Amino acid sequence: MEKNTVPNQPASTKVTIRPWIEEDLSLLQSMNTEKMWEYLGGPETEEKVIDRHQRYLKAVPGKTRMFAIMFGVHPAGNVGYWETQWRDQDVYEIGWMVLPGFQGKGIAKRATAKLLSILRTDAPHGFVHAFPSVDNLKSNAICEKLGFLFVGETNLEFPPGTWMKCNDWRFKL
């Protein structure tokens, strides 16, 4: 059985999101693989993973929040938002990751929809953007299914020093 696979779980299993906690470091470490970071410049060093985990723990509603995605009782990935500047405007950026063994069950879409509901409460800004790689067909499909407006292709620096070609999707809160 593939690591992080939940056997015999129906597609209707409840998807929830909960605020990031100290114990989620192991989830972040399990997501730090070539496959998970394929479109984002490759896995991070252990030091960067720990730094990322510390940032995720410092939630400030309206600024930045990270959540663990739960599929039933099983951690399946993460979803979060952060405040950023895009084209001289204050906006939010949103992102998600779902472990390979949990993909294909609609988990990322359901978790992202839940986060958008939270963001509507947290957000003083009017828009949230998602910037999936142009090659990441699944993440682009999630944006479309959730009602994001396709703005166009753009280049985004991530990780720092590396430019990626991505799609700009915008959602009005």
- Residue 123, number of CB atoms within 10 A of its CB: 18
Q: Are strands 127-130 and 89-98 parallel, antiparallel or unpaired?
A: parallel
Handedness of CA 64, 112, 87, 53 (dihedral sign): positive
Residue with tokens 């472990």: 99
What are residue 62's phi and psi, to 5 degrees?
90, -10
> What does the pLDDT read at residue 4?
46
Q: pLDDT of 77-125, one tens digit each?
A: 999 999 988 898 888 999 999 999 999 999 999 999 999 999 998 886 6
Task: Identify the helix (H) or strand (E) that includes residue 124.
Answer: none
pTM value surpassing 0.85: yes
Q: What is the mean pLDDT of residues 143-164?
A: 91
What are residue 135's phi and psi, to 5 degrees?
-85, -10
- Who contacts 18 (Cβ-Cβ below 8 Å, separation ≥6)? 67, 68, 70
- Residue 35, number of CB atoms within 10 A of its CB: 10
> What does the pLDDT read at residue 159?
73
Two structure tokens written together for 21: 């906690």
